[in-house]
A = this chain, B = another copy of it.
Amino acid sequence: MTVRPASPEPSAGTDPATNQACRHGRSEGGCVACDVRRVSVCAALTGQELERLEAVSHRIVLDPRQILFGQEDRADAVYNVTEGALRLSRLLPDGRRHVIGFALIGDFVGLALPERFTVTAEALTPVALCRFDRRAFTALVEDVPHLLRRLHERAGYELTLAQDHMMLLGRRTAEEKVAAFLLGLRARYARIGLTSVTLELPMCRQDIADHLGLTIETVSRMLTRLDRERAILIVPGGVRLVDPGRLEQLAAS
């Protein structure tokens, strides 16, 4: 994943609709040539089905801070992330925020094919996605049980991730939370073939805090502590995992 500090030109607008027209036309080579497919739900599909999928898909691009959809919005599309990272968050009426998670390359957004979204999705980096019209996608799903099976598998995986995260939120100390977060992110990057020792952190400290049920100060302190303990090295835009073993020990998973 390429994480640039920020897009040079400011966002053209926050309405993704203005962006839904293909900037580059359909991605070169289409789904068949797409290297994200291997790690995504699309892997369930074969030649002819892929063509159908491609027919209902558009490539869209978001600048950092641009909102893909808001909590409660009607879900008239579902998405597959092909580049960059999104933040998925929920707001409590009184303004408290929880970051449910981050959608990375290969992640499918709208897995459950819901009527309405339950989270807000915002780009953290420049993001590229395949946008599938929900109605058309649902029709495809009806025809291809294979695809539904794959979606369901993925939903099951998300469910276990959610369980892990609940355990983390409810029963772990601040240091364990931060260590586990870093390891979890590494595992997810590894799953999509990114195995660098340097972990890019496309999200800001506040996002991490809201994800782990901590304050920004505590996250900062714990990262500093891990750095002092030589488990990690804080670098611009991320951290270098100097001693993953130590980190695993601290994460107590």
A195 to chain B, nearest CB (A): 25
Which listed segment binds B: A110-118, A186-194, A227-235?
A110-118
- Verify B98–A166 contact, CB threshold 8 A: yes
The complex places the Cα of A145 from the Cα of B140 at a distance, in Å, of 13
Is A204 among interface residues, defined by CB-CB distance under 8 A? no
Known A-B contacts A153-B112, A159-B155; the reply to A92 vs B167 at CB < 8 A is yes
Count of A interface residues, CB-CB < 8 Å: 41
Q: How many copies of this chain sit in the oligomeric assembly?
A: 2
Known A-B contacts A93-B253, A152-B112, A252-B93; the reply to A166 vs B169 at CB < 8 A is yes
The complex places the Cα of A253 from the Cα of B96 at a distance, in Å, of 11
Task: Kindly list chain B residues whose C-beta atoms are within 8 Å of the C-beta of A171.
Answer: 92, 96-98, 210, 213
- Verify B160–A118 contact, CB threshold 8 A: yes
Is A94 among interface residues, defined by CB-CB distance under 8 A? yes
Task: Kindly list chain B residues whose C-beta atoms are within 8 Å of the C-beta of A159.
Answer: 111-112, 155, 158-159, 162
Is A131 among interface residues, defined by CB-CB distance under 8 A? no
- Verify B160–A163 contact, CB threshold 8 A: no
- Verify A170–B167 contact, CB threshold 8 A: no
Closest partner residue, chain B, to A97 (CB atom): B171
